[in-house]
Amino acid sequence: MPRKSKEKAKEVAASLLGLGLDNQDGHKRVTQGDDFLLVGGSEETHERMQDVAIHVTEALQTKGKRLQDAELQEVIDLVQRAMDR
């Protein structure tokens, strides 16, 4: 059996994680996408996390990038822009 080359590039895994801690109504909210996992929060907070995650992933898709291909600062800037909307 052939051995895998040590020089072969490893795929970098990247994901956004949103954690809401303001839930008072007892509902368990979980939203999972290809590049994000959102857990908890009030209805309003969870919806806001969804909006931010969707904005970031769609903005990267528009640029022809995946989350794991983007620079950290680029992702931070996209999150900030989404939160300022």
- Each residue's pLDDT, cut to its tens digit, for the chain (85 residues) gives 555 555 455 666 899 999 999 999 999 999 999 999 999 999 999 999 999 999 999 999 999 999 999 999 999 999 999 999 8
Amino acid occupying residue 29:
R
pLDDT of residue 44: 97
**Domains of the chain by residue range:** 16-84
Query: Which SS3 state, helix, strand or coil, does residue 38 take?
Result: strand
Its pTM stands at 0.82
H-helix or E-strand spanning residue 53: helix 43-62
DSSP state of 9: P
pLDDT of residue 13: 83
